[in-house]
Amino acid sequence: MKVALGVTGCIAAYKAVEVMRGLQKAGVQVEVVLTRAGARFVPPLTFESLTGRNVVTDMFQTGRNLDIHHIALAQSIQMLVVAPATANIIGKFAHGIADDFLSTLYLATPAPVLLAPAMNSAMWRHPAVRANVEALRRRGCKVVAPEAGMLACGMEGDGRLAPVETIVARVLAALRAGPAGAAADKGAGDLAGLSVLVTAGPTVEDIDPIRFISNRSSGKMGYAVAAAAARRGAQVCLVSGPTALDAPDGVERIDVRSAAEMLDAVLSRYDAADVVVKAAAVADYRPSAPAGQKIKKAGGVRALELERTEDILALLGNRKKRQFLVGFAAETENVLASAREKLRGKNLDLVVANDVSRGVFGEDAAAVHILAPDGAEVALEAQPKAAVADRLLDEVLIRRGRRGEAPE
Protein backbone atom coordinates (compact mmCIF):
# COMPACT_ATOMS: atom_id res chain seq x y z
CA MET A 1 0.00 0.00 0.00
CA LYS A 2 1.23 3.47 -0.85
CA VAL A 3 0.11 6.72 0.74
CA ALA A 4 0.97 10.33 -0.11
CA LEU A 5 1.35 12.31 3.11
CA GLY A 6 0.77 16.01 2.65
CA VAL A 7 2.38 18.22 5.31
CA THR A 8 1.32 21.87 5.46
CA GLY A 9 2.51 24.96 7.31
CA CYS A 10 1.45 24.54 10.92
CA ILE A 11 3.29 24.15 14.23
CA ALA A 12 1.83 20.62 14.40
CA ALA A 13 3.83 19.70 11.27
CA TYR A 14 6.42 17.99 13.46
CA LYS A 15 3.77 15.40 14.39
CA ALA A 16 3.58 14.41 10.72
CA VAL A 17 6.88 12.62 11.28
CA GLU A 18 5.17 10.41 13.86
CA VAL A 19 2.23 9.81 11.54
CA MET A 20 4.66 8.75 8.82
CA ARG A 21 6.49 6.39 11.19
CA GLY A 22 3.22 4.86 12.37
CA LEU A 23 2.21 4.10 8.80
CA GLN A 24 5.64 2.70 7.98
CA LYS A 25 5.44 0.34 10.95
CA ALA A 26 2.18 -0.98 9.51
CA GLY A 27 3.94 -1.71 6.21
CA VAL A 28 2.63 1.29 4.30
CA GLN A 29 4.93 3.02 1.82
CA VAL A 30 4.83 6.77 2.41
CA GLU A 31 5.72 9.50 -0.07
CA VAL A 32 5.83 12.92 1.57
CA VAL A 33 4.56 16.07 -0.14
CA LEU A 34 5.77 19.11 1.76
CA THR A 35 4.30 22.54 1.05
CA ARG A 36 6.53 25.59 1.05
CA ALA A 37 5.12 26.69 4.41
CA GLY A 38 5.39 23.15 5.77
CA ALA A 39 9.10 23.11 4.97
CA ARG A 40 9.52 26.13 7.25
CA PHE A 41 8.54 23.93 10.20
CA VAL A 42 10.06 20.56 9.23
CA PRO A 43 12.88 20.45 6.64
CA PRO A 44 12.71 17.93 3.78
CA LEU A 45 15.86 16.20 5.06
CA THR A 46 13.96 14.91 8.11
CA PHE A 47 11.44 13.03 5.99
CA GLU A 48 14.01 11.94 3.39
CA SER A 49 16.22 10.44 6.10
CA LEU A 50 13.35 8.40 7.53
CA THR A 51 11.71 7.31 4.26
CA GLY A 52 14.79 6.89 2.09
CA ARG A 53 12.84 8.68 -0.63
CA ASN A 54 12.89 12.15 -2.13
CA VAL A 55 10.40 14.59 -0.66
CA VAL A 56 8.21 16.54 -3.08
CA THR A 57 8.43 20.26 -2.32
CA ASP A 58 7.75 21.93 -5.65
CA MET A 59 5.73 21.45 -8.82
CA PHE A 60 8.81 21.92 -10.98
CA GLN A 61 11.62 20.05 -9.23
CA THR A 62 14.52 19.17 -11.51
CA GLY A 63 14.53 15.52 -12.50
CA ARG A 64 10.92 14.88 -11.49
CA ASN A 65 9.08 16.16 -14.53
CA LEU A 66 9.66 13.36 -17.06
CA ASP A 67 6.54 11.49 -15.96
CA ILE A 68 4.51 14.57 -14.93
CA HIS A 69 5.04 13.61 -11.32
CA HIS A 70 1.81 14.93 -9.77
CA ILE A 71 -0.17 12.81 -12.23
CA ALA A 72 2.02 9.73 -11.83
CA LEU A 73 1.86 9.95 -8.04
CA ALA A 74 -1.88 10.60 -8.12
CA GLN A 75 -2.45 7.35 -9.99
CA SER A 76 -0.13 5.23 -7.84
CA ILE A 77 -1.39 5.96 -4.31
CA GLN A 78 -4.15 4.24 -2.39
CA MET A 79 -4.81 7.32 -0.23
CA LEU A 80 -3.93 10.98 0.11
CA VAL A 81 -3.48 11.99 3.75
CA VAL A 82 -2.94 15.60 4.83
CA ALA A 83 -1.74 15.96 8.41
CA PRO A 84 -1.76 18.63 9.55
CA ALA A 85 -4.29 20.26 7.22
CA THR A 86 -4.39 24.04 7.58
CA ALA A 87 -7.33 26.31 6.85
CA ASN A 88 -5.46 27.35 3.71
CA ILE A 89 -5.17 23.88 2.18
CA ILE A 90 -8.74 23.00 3.22
CA GLY A 91 -9.94 26.11 1.39
CA LYS A 92 -7.93 25.23 -1.71
CA PHE A 93 -9.29 21.67 -1.77
CA ALA A 94 -12.86 22.87 -1.25
CA HIS A 95 -12.71 25.39 -4.09
CA GLY A 96 -10.54 23.53 -6.58
CA ILE A 97 -7.55 25.84 -6.38
CA ALA A 98 -4.41 24.11 -7.69
CA ASP A 99 -1.43 26.42 -7.19
CA ASP A 100 1.11 24.01 -5.69
CA PHE A 101 1.95 20.31 -5.85
CA LEU A 102 -0.32 19.22 -2.99
CA SER A 103 -3.44 21.03 -4.17
CA THR A 104 -2.84 19.81 -7.71
CA LEU A 105 -2.35 16.27 -6.45
CA TYR A 106 -5.71 16.47 -4.68
CA LEU A 107 -7.49 17.33 -7.93
CA ALA A 108 -5.63 14.68 -9.89
CA THR A 109 -5.97 11.65 -7.63
CA PRO A 110 -8.91 9.24 -7.68
CA ALA A 111 -7.76 7.87 -4.31
CA PRO A 112 -9.66 8.50 -1.05
CA VAL A 113 -8.62 11.59 0.89
CA LEU A 114 -8.22 11.95 4.64
CA LEU A 115 -7.64 15.30 6.34
CA ALA A 116 -6.47 15.93 9.91
CA PRO A 117 -7.04 19.67 10.48
CA ALA A 118 -5.04 21.73 12.98
CA MET A 119 -5.37 25.46 13.59
CA ASN A 120 -6.35 28.14 16.08
CA SER A 121 -9.78 27.67 17.69
CA ALA A 122 -11.21 30.84 16.17
CA MET A 123 -10.07 29.71 12.73
CA TRP A 124 -11.51 26.21 13.19
CA ARG A 125 -14.87 27.67 14.20
CA HIS A 126 -14.97 30.32 11.47
CA PRO A 127 -18.01 29.86 9.20
CA ALA A 128 -15.80 29.84 6.09
CA VAL A 129 -13.65 26.99 7.43
CA ARG A 130 -16.68 25.05 8.67
CA ALA A 131 -18.34 25.41 5.26
CA ASN A 132 -15.19 24.23 3.49
CA VAL A 133 -14.83 21.21 5.78
CA GLU A 134 -18.46 20.21 5.33
CA ALA A 135 -18.18 20.63 1.54
CA LEU A 136 -15.23 18.23 1.54
CA ARG A 137 -17.11 15.78 3.77
CA ARG A 138 -20.00 15.77 1.32
CA ARG A 139 -17.55 14.91 -1.47
CA GLY A 140 -16.38 11.90 0.49
CA CYS A 141 -13.26 13.23 2.21
CA LYS A 142 -12.65 11.72 5.61
CA VAL A 143 -11.90 14.21 8.38
CA VAL A 144 -10.15 13.33 11.62
CA ALA A 145 -11.46 16.19 13.71
CA PRO A 146 -9.08 18.18 15.90
CA GLU A 147 -9.30 17.88 19.67
CA ALA A 148 -9.43 20.40 22.47
CA GLY A 149 -6.31 21.36 24.40
CA MET A 150 -3.51 23.88 24.74
CA LEU A 151 -2.72 25.47 21.39
CA ALA A 152 0.57 26.94 20.19
CA CYS A 153 -0.84 30.46 20.60
CA GLY A 154 -1.34 29.80 24.30
CA MET A 155 -5.13 29.55 24.04
CA GLU A 156 -7.21 26.61 25.23
CA GLY A 157 -9.76 25.23 22.82
CA ASP A 158 -10.51 22.92 19.93
CA GLY A 159 -8.18 23.01 16.96
CA ARG A 160 -5.31 20.87 18.21
CA LEU A 161 -4.23 18.08 15.84
CA ALA A 162 -5.90 14.78 16.72
CA PRO A 163 -3.66 12.22 18.45
CA VAL A 164 -1.17 10.59 16.09
CA GLU A 165 -2.43 7.11 16.97
CA THR A 166 -5.98 8.15 16.06
CA ILE A 167 -4.88 9.50 12.68
CA VAL A 168 -2.85 6.38 11.92
CA ALA A 169 -5.75 4.12 12.96
CA ARG A 170 -8.16 6.01 10.70
CA VAL A 171 -5.77 5.81 7.74
CA LEU A 172 -5.18 2.08 8.17
CA ALA A 173 -8.90 1.42 8.58
CA ALA A 174 -9.68 3.39 5.43
CA LEU A 175 -7.01 1.52 3.49
CA ARG A 176 -8.54 -1.78 4.57
CA ALA A 177 -11.96 -0.47 3.51
CA GLY A 178 -10.81 -0.05 -0.08
CA PRO A 179 -10.84 2.82 -2.57
CA ALA A 180 -14.56 3.43 -2.30
CA GLY A 181 -14.14 4.33 1.35
CA ALA A 182 -16.84 1.89 2.41
CA ALA A 183 -16.33 -1.30 4.34
CA ALA A 184 -15.58 -4.14 1.99
CA ASP A 185 -16.54 -6.59 4.71
CA LYS A 186 -17.77 -6.52 8.27
CA GLY A 187 -14.24 -6.35 9.63
CA ALA A 188 -13.23 -3.19 7.73
CA GLY A 189 -13.59 0.42 8.81
CA ASP A 190 -12.35 2.60 11.65
CA LEU A 191 -14.98 1.15 14.03
CA ALA A 192 -14.08 -2.44 13.17
CA GLY A 193 -14.12 -4.69 16.21
CA LEU A 194 -16.45 -2.44 18.20
CA SER A 195 -19.95 -3.29 19.34
CA VAL A 196 -22.19 -0.22 19.08
CA LEU A 197 -25.61 -0.04 20.71
CA VAL A 198 -27.93 2.73 19.49
CA THR A 199 -31.41 3.71 20.62
CA ALA A 200 -33.71 5.71 18.38
CA GLY A 201 -37.23 7.00 17.95
CA PRO A 202 -39.96 7.72 20.49
CA THR A 203 -41.47 5.47 23.11
CA VAL A 204 -45.22 5.01 23.44
CA GLU A 205 -47.08 4.76 26.78
CA ASP A 206 -50.63 3.43 26.55
CA ILE A 207 -53.58 5.17 28.19
CA ASP A 208 -55.99 2.51 26.93
CA PRO A 209 -55.97 0.15 23.92
CA ILE A 210 -56.56 3.13 21.58
CA ARG A 211 -54.91 6.18 23.11
CA PHE A 212 -51.34 6.77 24.19
CA ILE A 213 -48.72 9.30 25.26
CA SER A 214 -45.69 9.81 23.01
CA ASN A 215 -43.53 12.55 21.47
CA ARG A 216 -42.52 13.96 18.10
CA SER A 217 -39.27 12.03 17.59
CA SER A 218 -38.91 10.60 14.08
CA GLY A 219 -35.90 8.41 14.88
CA LYS A 220 -33.88 9.88 11.99
CA MET A 221 -30.90 10.93 14.12
CA GLY A 222 -30.52 7.56 15.83
CA TYR A 223 -30.94 5.70 12.55
CA ALA A 224 -28.27 7.93 10.97
CA VAL A 225 -25.87 7.05 13.81
CA ALA A 226 -26.60 3.33 13.41
CA ALA A 227 -26.10 3.49 9.64
CA ALA A 228 -22.83 5.43 9.96
CA ALA A 229 -21.46 3.05 12.60
CA ALA A 230 -22.28 0.01 10.46
CA ARG A 231 -20.74 1.64 7.39
CA ARG A 232 -17.58 2.24 9.40
CA GLY A 233 -17.29 -1.42 10.38
CA ALA A 234 -18.98 -1.70 13.77
CA GLN A 235 -21.32 -4.46 14.86
CA VAL A 236 -24.48 -2.43 15.45
CA CYS A 237 -27.62 -3.17 17.43
CA LEU A 238 -30.42 -0.61 17.04
CA VAL A 239 -33.16 -0.55 19.69
CA SER A 240 -35.97 1.39 18.07
CA GLY A 241 -39.27 2.78 19.20
CA PRO A 242 -42.10 2.97 16.65
CA THR A 243 -40.93 4.73 13.46
CA ALA A 244 -41.62 4.58 9.73
CA LEU A 245 -37.93 4.09 8.95
CA ASP A 246 -36.30 1.00 7.46
CA ALA A 247 -33.45 -0.62 9.36
CA PRO A 248 -30.06 0.43 7.92
CA ASP A 249 -28.10 -2.22 6.03
CA GLY A 250 -26.04 -4.49 8.24
CA VAL A 251 -27.79 -3.39 11.45
CA GLU A 252 -29.67 -5.63 13.88
CA ARG A 253 -32.90 -3.90 14.90
CA ILE A 254 -34.91 -4.65 18.03
CA ASP A 255 -38.37 -3.08 17.94
CA VAL A 256 -39.86 -1.87 21.22
CA ARG A 257 -42.84 0.23 22.19
CA SER A 258 -42.64 1.48 25.77
CA ALA A 259 -39.86 2.86 27.97
CA ALA A 260 -39.94 -0.36 29.99
CA GLU A 261 -39.47 -2.47 26.86
CA MET A 262 -36.62 -0.23 25.71
CA LEU A 263 -34.93 -0.58 29.09
CA ASP A 264 -35.13 -4.38 28.95
CA ALA A 265 -33.75 -4.48 25.40
CA VAL A 266 -30.90 -2.08 26.18
CA LEU A 267 -29.87 -3.90 29.37
CA SER A 268 -29.81 -7.22 27.49
CA ARG A 269 -27.08 -5.80 25.20
CA TYR A 270 -25.34 -3.29 27.45
CA ASP A 271 -22.63 -5.48 28.95
CA ALA A 272 -21.34 -6.49 25.50
CA ALA A 273 -21.39 -2.95 24.10
CA ASP A 274 -18.27 -0.82 23.61
CA VAL A 275 -20.12 2.34 22.56
CA VAL A 276 -23.69 3.26 23.48
CA VAL A 277 -25.49 6.14 21.75
CA LYS A 278 -28.83 6.95 23.41
CA ALA A 279 -30.58 9.01 20.74
CA ALA A 280 -34.11 7.80 21.58
CA ALA A 281 -36.65 10.25 22.98
CA VAL A 282 -37.93 8.22 25.91
CA ALA A 283 -41.22 9.34 27.43
CA ASP A 284 -40.68 10.79 30.92
CA TYR A 285 -44.14 9.80 32.16
CA ARG A 286 -46.70 7.04 31.61
CA PRO A 287 -50.25 6.50 32.87
CA SER A 288 -50.04 4.92 36.31
CA ALA A 289 -53.07 2.69 35.62
CA PRO A 290 -53.64 2.14 31.89
CA ALA A 291 -57.16 0.96 31.14
CA GLY A 292 -57.77 -2.47 29.68
CA GLN A 293 -60.74 -1.21 27.68
CA LYS A 294 -61.38 1.99 25.78
CA ILE A 295 -62.17 4.83 28.16
CA LYS A 296 -65.59 6.18 27.27
CA LYS A 297 -66.40 9.86 27.14
CA ALA A 298 -68.25 10.99 30.22
CA GLY A 299 -69.47 14.26 31.57
CA GLY A 300 -66.89 16.63 32.99
CA VAL A 301 -63.10 16.63 32.74
CA ARG A 302 -61.27 13.39 33.45
CA ALA A 303 -57.89 13.52 35.21
CA LEU A 304 -55.08 11.28 34.01
CA GLU A 305 -52.67 10.20 36.74
CA LEU A 306 -49.07 9.78 35.57
CA GLU A 307 -45.96 8.18 37.01
CA ARG A 308 -42.29 8.51 36.07
CA THR A 309 -40.81 6.08 33.59
CA GLU A 310 -37.40 4.51 34.04
CA ASP A 311 -34.47 6.91 33.52
CA ILE A 312 -32.57 4.62 31.16
CA LEU A 313 -29.66 6.96 30.57
CA ALA A 314 -29.03 7.55 34.28
CA LEU A 315 -29.16 3.82 34.93
CA LEU A 316 -26.62 3.15 32.17
CA GLY A 317 -24.36 5.88 33.54
CA ASN A 318 -24.43 4.28 36.98
CA ARG A 319 -23.66 0.83 35.57
CA LYS A 320 -20.99 2.02 33.14
CA LYS A 321 -17.71 0.14 33.21
CA ARG A 322 -15.77 0.11 29.96
CA GLN A 323 -18.63 1.47 27.83
CA PHE A 324 -18.37 4.86 26.12
CA LEU A 325 -21.77 6.45 26.76
CA VAL A 326 -23.30 9.19 24.60
CA GLY A 327 -26.55 10.92 25.47
CA PHE A 328 -28.78 13.42 23.68
CA ALA A 329 -30.34 16.52 25.24
CA ALA A 330 -33.35 17.90 23.37
CA GLU A 331 -34.10 21.26 24.97
CA THR A 332 -36.21 24.35 24.29
CA GLU A 333 -34.43 26.78 26.65
CA ASN A 334 -31.06 27.06 28.41
CA VAL A 335 -29.96 24.41 25.94
CA LEU A 336 -26.23 24.20 26.71
CA ALA A 337 -26.60 24.62 30.48
CA SER A 338 -29.21 21.85 30.61
CA ALA A 339 -27.06 19.59 28.43
CA ARG A 340 -24.01 20.12 30.64
CA GLU A 341 -26.09 19.22 33.69
CA LYS A 342 -27.18 16.00 31.98
CA LEU A 343 -23.54 15.29 31.05
CA ARG A 344 -22.46 15.56 34.70
CA GLY A 345 -25.51 14.13 36.37
CA LYS A 346 -25.76 10.99 34.26
CA ASN A 347 -22.04 10.18 34.00
CA LEU A 348 -21.85 10.56 30.23
CA ASP A 349 -18.76 10.66 28.03
CA LEU A 350 -20.42 12.98 25.51
CA VAL A 351 -23.76 14.70 25.18
CA VAL A 352 -25.33 16.04 22.00
CA ALA A 353 -27.42 19.16 22.64
CA ASN A 354 -30.01 20.42 20.21
CA ASP A 355 -32.57 23.18 20.39
CA VAL A 356 -35.87 21.53 19.50
CA SER A 357 -37.82 24.78 19.77
CA ARG A 358 -36.79 25.31 16.15
CA GLY A 359 -38.94 22.42 14.96
CA VAL A 360 -36.19 19.91 14.12
CA PHE A 361 -38.29 16.80 14.70
CA GLY A 362 -38.72 14.90 11.47
CA GLU A 363 -36.22 17.05 9.60
CA ASP A 364 -33.29 15.60 7.66
CA ALA A 365 -30.83 18.19 9.01
CA ALA A 366 -29.85 19.36 12.48
CA ALA A 367 -27.62 21.91 14.20
CA VAL A 368 -26.12 20.55 17.42
CA HIS A 369 -23.43 21.05 20.04
CA ILE A 370 -21.31 18.08 21.13
CA LEU A 371 -20.14 18.59 24.72
CA ALA A 372 -17.48 16.67 26.65
CA PRO A 373 -16.78 16.46 30.41
CA ASP A 374 -13.52 18.40 30.07
CA GLY A 375 -15.43 21.44 28.79
CA ALA A 376 -14.66 20.90 25.11
CA GLU A 377 -17.46 21.85 22.75
CA VAL A 378 -17.99 21.16 19.06
CA ALA A 379 -20.63 23.34 17.43
CA LEU A 380 -22.13 22.01 14.21
CA GLU A 381 -24.19 24.31 12.04
CA ALA A 382 -27.27 22.90 10.30
CA GLN A 383 -26.26 19.94 8.14
CA PRO A 384 -27.62 16.52 7.17
CA LYS A 385 -28.11 14.20 10.12
CA ALA A 386 -25.87 11.66 8.37
CA ALA A 387 -23.03 14.21 8.54
CA VAL A 388 -23.80 14.92 12.20
CA ALA A 389 -23.69 11.17 12.89
CA ASP A 390 -20.26 10.79 11.28
CA ARG A 391 -18.94 13.82 13.15
CA LEU A 392 -20.23 12.39 16.43
CA LEU A 393 -18.53 9.06 15.73
CA ASP A 394 -15.30 10.93 14.97
CA GLU A 395 -15.52 12.46 18.45
CA VAL A 396 -16.18 9.05 19.97
CA LEU A 397 -13.05 7.66 18.31
CA ILE A 398 -10.92 10.59 19.45
CA ARG A 399 -12.19 10.46 23.02
CA ARG A 400 -11.83 6.70 23.29
CA GLY A 401 -8.32 7.02 21.88
CA ARG A 402 -7.45 9.48 24.62
CA ARG A 403 -8.61 6.90 27.16
CA GLY A 404 -6.28 4.37 25.52
CA GLU A 405 -9.12 2.35 24.05
CA ALA A 406 -8.87 3.13 20.34
CA PRO A 407 -9.63 0.14 18.09
CA GLU A 408 -6.63 -1.57 16.56
Strand partners, 384: 365
Contact 207, 291 (CB under 8 A): yes
Q: Of 384, 391, 3, 406, nearest to 174 (Cα)?
A: 3
Give the whole-angstrom CA distance, residue 403 versus residue 408.
14
Give the whole-angstrom CA distance, residue 330 versus residue 362.
13
DSSP code string of 280-337: -B--SEEESS--SSPPPP-SSPPP--EEEPP-HHHHHHHH-SS-EEEEEEEESSSHHH
Report the 10 Å Cβ neighbour count for 295. Answer: 14
Residue type (1 letter), 39: A
- Between strands 275-278 and 324-331, the pairing is parallel
Cβ partners under 8 Å of residue 298, min gap 6: none
What is residue 12's three-state secondary structure?
A: helix
Q: Which of the residues are catalytic?
A: 153
Cβ partners under 8 Å of residue 317, min gap 6: 325, 346, 347, 348
Residue type (1 letter), 302: R
